[in-house]
Amino acid sequence: MAAWNSFEFRVLSFEFLQTREKLVKNNTPEMTNDDFETQEIPESPEEHTPDPQPDGVDVSPVQERAERVKAQIGQVIVGQEDMLDQMLVALFTGGHVLLEGVPGIAKTLSAKLLARTIASGFSRIQFTPDLMPADVVGTPVFNMKTSEFNFKSGPIFSNIVLIDEINRAPAKTQAALFEVMEEFQVTVDGHTYPMGSPFFVVATQNPIEQEGTYKLPEAQLDRFLFKIVLDYPSLDEEKIILRRFRNDFTGALRETVHPVLASSDIADCRRRIEQVYIREELLDYIAAIVHSTRNNGDLFLGASPRASLALMKSAKALAAINGRNFVTPDDIRYVVFPVLNHRVILTPDREMEGYHVREVLDDLVKKVEVPR
């Protein structure tokens, strides 16, 4: 009897489940394809939103213009490819360049030739120990006819400004460059005079060990995007120099360099470089590198946020010059030394031990994890 009751219970349970399934099916509206398409799946709040993809900005005009400039300068200058690339990066990002090296390695010549490739104004200022700030930015001059003071602008009012041997002048004269290099304006007697566009300063200096030089203040050094340290040419490069100029004692070859860029071309390059794509991880990579300079036992002074911005701008410009509309870690590592070498100071102990800033920066960059 118990066995029959158990069997009967299972049969009734099966019939009950079938009846319930029919009732549910009859009361449930049929789902169509449109119903599936219109249903929205809520996004998980913890889901990471990926970075936007490169916007596809066309950087080929930047690369082509850079190649034209380098081809013109290459008619005279032998080697120095890194210097030319870095000068173009600074020009296209609105920065300034400090060239350091011993006399006779074409620092001034390179700056003058770069100015010749651009159809804009050019002026040269020779810094000397007796140079005054007014000799650089200008000064009010009394007009006898009108009995008024008129501002007479100094040589800094130009587009491409070459400051030769900048560390020959004392600190008060160098301080005259603070405002104009950072804010692109000059204030004299309460009146502000804006600079034209482009405004690009190329300064040269001899190594501090040379006699009769002054050390530039840290605040002024920080206003240079790059400090480019130049060395002697290689043996093969020096052979090419001798063969190129063996029949040119007067420098007539320099006259073959002619303008290939207009001011509007430089402005267009800047707009395109601003749109070059850089991943969030690479921005964090830049921040980590700069932050590590402030917590390094070998450095007395670390880099400021201005250095972080300089690294980002330089990496984007370098990518564009190389024909890419996106930044890679190699772009950042390439510009680390020219951007940071004049912004950090070794501790006295490391200086006495003969350490070089390059060694410290190379070791510092190796310790920062590279984004994948």
Third-level CATH fold of 276-372: Helicase, Ruva Protein; domain 3 (1.10.8)
Q: CATH classification of 61-274, choosing from 3.40.718.10, 3.40.50.300, 3.30.70.360, 3.60.70.12? A: 3.40.50.300
- pLDDT for 148 equals 85
In degrees, rounded to 5, the angle at the alpha carbon of residue 54 between the alpha carbons of residues 263 and 368 is 95
Contact of 193 with 154, CB cutoff 8 Å: no
CA distance 127 to 130: 8
- pLDDT for 55 equals 56
- pLDDT for 43 equals 44
- pLDDT for 50 equals 41
CA distance 79 to 198: 26
- Listed by start position, the domains of the chain span 61-274, 276-372
CA distance 246 to 168: 33
Cα–chain center distance at 234? 28
- pLDDT for 339 equals 95
CA distance 224 to 205: 13
Q: How far is CA 165 from CA 79, 84, 102, 320, 349, in A?
A: 22, 19, 11, 31, 29
CA distance 234 to 100: 18
pTM of the model: 0.80
What number of helices (H) and strands (E) belong to the chain? 16, 13
Q: Are strands 160-164 and 200-205 parallel, antiparallel or unpaired?
A: parallel
CA distance 261 to 239: 31
E strands, 48-194, in order: 97-100, 118-119, 122-126, 138-143, 148-153, 160-164, 185-188, 191-194
- pLDDT for 208 equals 67
- The residue behind tokens 């420098």 is 251
Q: Shortest CA distance to 69 belongs to which of 160, 155, 196?
A: 160
CA distance 217 to 171: 7
Splitting the chain (372 residues) into consecutive groups of 10 residues, what average pLDDT does each group show?
46 49 46 40 40 68 94 90 93 94 88 92 92 90 86 91 91 88 90 91 82 82 93 92 90 89 93 94 95 90 93 96 94 95 90 88 91 83
- pLDDT for 241 equals 92
